Amino acid sequence: MTRISFYILKSNELEQRQAFACRLIEKIYHQGQQVYIHTDSAENSEALNQALWAIRPESFIPHDVMSADNTENSPILIGHSNNAPPRLMDVMINLTAEQPLFFSQFERVCEIVDDDATIKQAGRQRFQFYKQRGYELDTFHI
């Protein structure tokens, strides 16, 4: 069964949420796992793509934004459609207000919740959704 991890941030700044997501992606990648990052728009996918290129000059995190014209063989994919990634992957990082329908195909789902009131409320709803369905839940205060 999919394990769900909630990461609660004290900041309400989008840049801090994005920076934490990049550090988490880097950590998961170095553990040898494949990561799918789910965003809510093409603009947010591209912003995360740029942030991953700039995370650290000495670091390289191979990643790709999902599109119709790429091969999507990267160990890290960024997408924003309602469709599951083109192959099975280990971890999904959800940066949207809702859990995607395909979340249960992953071994682990990471939910990043910051201190913005809207994001916090959506996070609470996702937490209840997972809890009511019996998923194993972890919470980490960052």
For the chain, give the longest Cα–Cα distance: 43
Radius of gyration from C-alpha coordinates of the chain: 14
CATH number assigned to the domain comprising residue 105: 3.40.50.10110
Q: What is the pLDDT of residue 62?
A: 86
Q: How far apart are CA 23 and CA 122, in angstroms?
A: 23
Q: Which has the closest alpha carbon to 65: 31, 94, 36, 29? A: 36
Q: Tell me how many domains the chain contains.
A: 1
- With 0.75 as the threshold, say if the pTM is over it: yes
- Parent domain of 137: 3-141
Distance of CA 142 to the CA centre of its chain: 16
d(CA 39, CA 47): 10
pLDDT per residue as tens digits for the range 18-70: 999 999 999 999 999 999 999 999 999 999 998 888 877 777 888 888 875 65
